[in-house]
Amino acid sequence: MDITLIKNKLAQLGVPHEAFKRYEEPHRFYHTLNHLEDIFQQLTNRGLIDNKALLLAAVYHDIIYDPKSLTNEEDSERFFIENYSGDEMLKQEVSNIILDTKTHQPSTALSAIFCEIDLNILYQPLHKLIAYEHQIFKEFQFVDYSIYKVKRLEVLKKLKEQVANPDLDALITYVECRQPTIAVYPGSFNPFHKGHYNILQKAEGIFDKVIIARGINADKGPATHTLPAALTYRQIESYSGLLTDFINSLGYPATIIRGLRNSTDLQYELNQYRYLQDLSTKPLHIISVFCDREFEHISSTGIRNLEQYGQAGQYLL
């Protein structure tokens, strides 16, 4: 498959190159360019790569994707209608296909083809289904795991009614039994700065999911900064009282992440760890993560001081 050739076909249909940038948004893990290219490959294999309606539907069916939204298909269809100036009959055909992907209940023969292609991942062997599950889990990491598990099983069991693949039963069992590695990154985060984000990204490379837990620090007073937009698709919780009580309230195992800048932080965190050990009624797991050198001088206190002189922007997300 020549992806450049396909993009040229789309350009001739009036699709701007910027449309593909949507599939590179950082909150996408499955609904990405790889998913788009898989659809192109299937169209090529079926000899349908020159079908204008299917080609346009491929690009625009997930052009708007917000895992927090219940209207992605409607929003994608609206985006297509507003931004594509082509033949009206073709636009209507593509519009119908996009809307049909909400339920994968096709309204036309062409839509039936696209719906089957769009669900191709569900026909794959178990190892690919598990990789797909991990991608969906990441897209919905803002949802608490106890809720995610229930809702995800509901979705998979419903999809199983539409797709004849015995490996889907194995995937459902996998989701039922899986215990993802989950960490909690606590702090007052007033503000949440680039050093914090550096620690978060390192932790996310270790754990399947990291919960950001914003605690109320009596010594520091109420938070004066909101959390940055970069954290929109992470699970964010707030708590007052003991961190150990918050960890126990989750209902599933979680490791505490502590960020370190230098040896001074290490000594402070060691003392805190001993207190947490004393207070916890259950086994406690903590790992410390050093930030990169370029961030080791950054602190929330320092940023708040610099804000008085309008010099804090370079340290914020």
Report pLDDT for 289.
96
Q: Kindly report the CA angle at 259 between 141 and 288, in degrees rounded to 5?
A: 95
What mean pLDDT comes out for the span 157-162?
94
Distance CA(56)–CA(33), nearest Å, equals 15
Number of domains in the chain: 3
Domain co-membership, 162 together with 254: no
Report pLDDT for 216.
84
Determine what percent of the chain is predicted with pLDDT higher than 90.
85
Contact partners, residue 152, CB within 8 Å, separation at least 6: 133, 136, 137, 140, 175
pTM of this structure: 0.94
The answer on pLDDT for 220 being more than 80 is no
What mean pLDDT comes out for the span 262-282?
87
Q: Decide: residue 254, CB within 10 A, 0-12 exposed, 13-18 middle, 19+ buried.
A: buried
What mean pLDDT comes out for the span 265-284?
87
Domain co-membership, 19 together with 70: yes
Last residue of a domain, one of 118, 142, 167: 118
Domain co-membership, 94 together with 138: no
Last residue of a domain, one of 101, 118, 135: 118
Which residue range is the domain that position 154 belongs to? 126-177
What average pLDDT is seen over the chain? 95
| Size of the chain in residues | 317
Domain co-membership, 194 together with 295: yes
The answer on pLDDT for 257 being more than 90 is yes
Domain co-membership, 282 together with 213: yes
Q: Kindly report the backbone phi and psi dihedral angles of residue 33, in degrees, each rounded to the nearest multiple of 5, phi listed first.
A: -60, -30
What mean pLDDT comes out for the span 204-211?
98
Domain co-membership, 99 together with 11: yes
With H, G, I as helix, E, B as strand and everything else as coil, classify residue 289: strand
Domain co-membership, 238 together with 292: yes
The answer on pLDDT for 282 being more than 90 is no
Q: How many CB atoms lie within 10 A of CB 58?
A: 26
Domain with residue 277: its CATH number is 3.40.50.620
Domain co-membership, 54 together with 133: no
Domain co-membership, 216 together with 95: no
The tens digit of pLDDT for each residue in 86-128 reads 899 999 999 999 999 999 999 999 999 999 999 999 999 999 9
Domain co-membership, 191 together with 268: yes
Per-residue exposure over 272-292, b if at least 16 CB sit within 10 Å of its own CB, e if not: eeeebeeebeeebeeeebbbe
Contact partners, residue 254, CB within 8 Å, separation at least 6: 182, 183, 184, 211, 247, 285
Determine what percent of the chain is predicted with pLDDT higher than 70.
98
pLDDT band at 202 (very low <50, low <70, confident <90, very high): very high
The tens digit of pLDDT for each residue in 14-34 reads 999 899 999 999 999 999 999
> What's the N-to-C CA distance of the chain in angstroms?
39
pLDDT band at 280 (very low <50, low <70, confident <90, very high): confident
Domain co-membership, 173 together with 226: no
Domain co-membership, 205 together with 308: yes
HEC string for 216-235 = CCCCCCCCCCCCCHHHCCCC
pLDDT band at 281 (very low <50, low <70, confident <90, very high): confident
Last residue of a domain, one of 139, 159, 177: 177
